[in-house]
Chain A
Amino acid sequence: SQTIHQWPATLVQPVGSPLSLECTVEGTSNPNLYWYRQAAGRGLQLLFYSVGIGQISSEVPQNLSASRPQDRQFILSSKKLLLSDSGFYLCAWSVNGAGGYTFGSGTRLTVV
């Protein structure tokens, strides 16, 4: 079956520290992968998407970056976190949208 794993579930990091969030997908090949962020009480903002290994597109300029080292692995990183990076980060995958989009369980990041 197709599943998506996202970790960690919660994270508290000091300002200026690095960040690495990981997402892996099982049960499908060559999915499109997405990173979203949801600020408290707000909607979902698309941060990055990837249509293949090593192919990353950024939607919002910021101090975050993404990488896709393997077909089913998507990583969100930062060298130095800002307070404004706090939020709920969600990873998602889809093949072509027709089967819908599956979301991970999310990582709640608090930058202090």
Chain B
Amino acid sequence: ELKVEQNPLFLSMQEGKNYTIYCNYSTTSDRLYWYRQDPGKSLESLFVLLSNGAVKQEGRLMASLDTKARLSTLHITAAVHDLSATYFCAVSTMDSSYKLIFGSGTRLLVRP
């Protein structure tokens, strides 16, 4: 059974600082996704990572995938207040259901 663990669950950081969110998963998959959720809202897709070694960057966020280690990271560079949100990683199963299993989420608070 695919399980996804994300840490930390809560992250309070100062503006301008760097930090990394980690996402580990338990069974083979080469499809990993990062989402952002603002309070009361649905999910916004940030990154789709589909192969070992994939790296994608958008603004101050960069995501990477190591399928051998079953690990993805979301790196935040020089955080700004607008990045405050909850971030979820999710992994797709490799059967025809393509079920998307989520981590518990990381609630990010960027302080001035």
Closest residue to B92 on the A side, CB-wise? Answer: A97
What is the predominant secondary structure among interface residues of chain B facing chain A? loop
A-B contact count (CB 8 A): 59
Interface range, B side: 20 to 34
| 8 Å CB contact of A100 from B40, B48, B88 | B48
Contact B100 A43 (CB under 8 A): no
Give the complex CA separation of A92 and B104 in angstroms. Answer: 18
Give the complex CA separation of A100 and B103 in angstroms. Answer: 16
Residues of A near B40 (CB, < 8 A) are: 108
Closest residue to A105 on the B side, CB-wise? Answer: B42
**CB within 8 Å of A: which of B32-58?**
33, 40-43, 45, 48, 50
Residues of B near A57 (CB, < 8 A) are: 97
Given A43-B88, A44-B88, A51-B96, does the pair A100, B101 have CB atoms closer than 8 Å?
A: no
Contact B97 A101 (CB under 8 A): no
CB of A103 within 8 A of chain B? Answer: yes
Encode contact with B along A85-112: 1 for CB under 8 Å, 0 otherwise. 0000010101011111111111010000
Give the complex CA separation of A96 and B98 in angstroms. Answer: 6
Question: A-side interface residues toward B, CB under 8 Å?
Answer: 32, 34, 36, 42-46, 49, 51, 57, 59, 90, 92, 94, 96-106, 108
Question: Nearest 4 A-B pairs (CB), nearest first?
Answer: A97-B98, A97-B92, A44-B102, A43-B104
